[in-house]
Amino acid sequence: MKLAKSMRLKAAFAITAATAIVVTGSMTAKTPSVTAASTATTRTKNVILFVGDGMGNAARNAIRLATVGEKGKLAMDDMPYAGLVHTSSTSAVTDSAAAATAYASGVKTYNGAIGMDANKKSVKTIMEYAKQAGMSTGVVTTSQVTDATGAAFGAHVEDRSAQSDIAQQFLTKSKVDVLLGGGEDFWYPAGNPGAFPDEPAEDPSEKSKGTRGNLVDKAKQLGYTYVTNKTDLQKAKGNKLLGLFANEEMFQQREEGGGDIYNPVVTLPDMTKKAIDTLSKNKKGFFLMVEEEAIDEMAHENNAALTIKAGQQLDKAVQVAKDFAKKNPDTLVLVLADHETGGLSIEPVDAEDESGDAISKEDGPFTIAGSKEKFVVDWTTSGHTAVDIPVTAMGKNANLFTGMYENTEVFTKLMKALGLSIK
């Protein structure tokens, strides 16, 4: 049976109920000012910011259709407020580093910059402001904890590749309390493998390559509990936690057709729960950034099946945060992306493939949950695009995030929600 006309329209234009809120909100929303931070109705105590790396609106719809069907709602979509974010850096098409710096520090910058403005001047991050206000901070990701998105919230380097420098700054400068993800290779010097062996069979290119000495030992000296597996993570106590669960990313992304794998040894929902449990001990509140990196990485390889699978794990992590927020109503939960990857579109199974059999060959078909209908995913690129991305929000001061605005305004709105001002 062919897709109904209404389904074709939804698939082609990727319009969701959340987007409808966006259109309405964009007509009335005002851009808040950081200097007006004290005008927030009441201060948000806790912020949980989710970044689905590379997750544009069409990707969210593909995840939704495959998970809960045409009429269902993902946890990330079932929120009362929504907006649209422009994603450009100083270039039209951003990378994750510049995008995360915009969110974390409120400045447009060049691709590759971490916590630096366009003139390579260090800019203070929202996690640093939060820490200064007595809050706890955390980074959770399925990528290296020192990769671009997490790095931009707690480090300042001119080039995102300086991951050992980023790790050192996490410990000694921004003093992030919880760090959970991959990237052990950048915490140990060359020739000194940690819990994960150098040159593993699944990817012989991975091996210890740290440039700042043994940073795991440094973390332990600074009071961090260090864990490398799920069992020890669950048992870990204390207020400072470092968990590294892979040499580099917590999945394997290879050349197209080379056998991509998404199977983190600790799931994003489990890492998110542990981070929240640890950070919420602070009565002054916390700021947590949670990233699902594999959405982007699998989209780069035009692997729709694993793009969707990673998105489903992100959604489960969002539900963990929503459950916490329901019990702690002074919490703000946001879900957005840094940019879109792959030029993904959703099409009927019988649609004519106008893009040929090269990198943009159609993926699928995928079953629409709860029905006999199917859809396919088509790709236009293996890179990033400049389309706007959706943001959904719930909790304390979530109403600030309606409308259509630049990515730098996410920082402004977060500062206002937290009652913080630039110093």
CB 391 within 8 A of CB 61: no
Tokens of residue 281, six digits: 């001990």
CB 338 within 8 A of CB 51: yes
Angstrom distance (rounded) from CA 288 to CA 104: 12
Which residue in the list 96, 143, 174, 280 is annotated as catalytic?
96
Closest CA to 59 of 350, 352, 389: 389
Angstrom distance (rounded) from CA 34 to CA 285: 20
| Strands 136-144 and 286-292, sheet pairing | parallel
Would residue 96 show up in a list of annotated catalytic residues for this protein?
Answer: yes
Angstrom distance (rounded) from CA 33 to CA 21: 23
Angstrom distance (rounded) from CA 103 to CA 117: 12
Tokens of residue 210, six digits: 């740290």
Please list the active-site residues. 96
